[in-house]
Amino acid sequence: MPFIAGDFCCSHSACVLLDVNASYSASTWELIPHVTQVSTTETANTPKLVTSSTNGREVGACGTVASVGTLAIACHSGSSQPGILCINRLYRIRWSEECDNIWDDVAGSAIANNLAGLHFEATIRITSVPIDFNIKGNSILEFSYGFDVVEWITQPPCQAQELTA
């Protein structure tokens, strides 16, 4: 069956949660207002090997997978922010294309069980903290954090599969 392009998913109801409990003994989630982007990249390290059985040709071998990402938060006055996230500190984040999958607007809290729809959750370590302040554009501050994924709690479906040779 040929590949058929699907619809673009442009969600205006996406959201990101941050676990603000440093001890992680009990989760205390807060909805981060004004997240402008969250993205992750999975990169496989596939070293090339040459053996006598390959007749001098390189063959890819399974290697480690690096998971990195960015989290961009725009600062708006009159709205609480999580504060500046600290470099080298661990945080737990959860995000979804539909906020209703992970956040209960009525209760004002994270949905603890039976998470629905496409959602992701990970423990991350902040690795870079560039602050973008576009003076000429008369724009807002944007904190664009780089991070490493330390542990996937709910990861993308195809990355959850085992490595194959």
Chain mean position to CA 10: 17
pTM: 0.72
Q: 22 pLDDT exceeds 60?
A: no
Local structure of 4: helix, strand or coil: coil
pLDDT on residue 3: 53
> Highest-confidence range of 28-37, 58-67, 118-127, by mean pLDDT?
118-127
Confidence of residue 165 (pLDDT cuts 50, 70, 90): very low
pLDDT computed for residue 163 by the predictor: 47
Residue 150: pLDDT above 70?
yes
Q: 134 pLDDT exceeds 50?
A: yes
- Give yes or no for residue 139 having a pLDDT over 50: yes
pLDDT at residue 18, as a whole number: 87
Locate 160 and state its tokens: 């959850």
8 Å CB contact between 82 and 93: no
How far, in Å, are 45, 50, 51 from residue 56 at the CA level? 21, 6, 7
Is the pLDDT confidence value at 125 over 90?
A: yes
**Tens digit of pLDDT for each residue in 62-120?**
778 888 998 888 765 555 555 678 889 999 998 888 888 888 877 778 877 667 778 88
- Whose structure tokens read 């949905």? 111
CA dihedral 152, 105, 118, 145 (to 10 degrees): -50
Q: Tell me the average pLDDT of the chain.
A: 76
Query: C-alpha distances in angstroms, 27 versus 19, 22, 34, 42, 66?
Result: 6, 9, 22, 26, 26
Predicted pLDDT of residue 24: 56
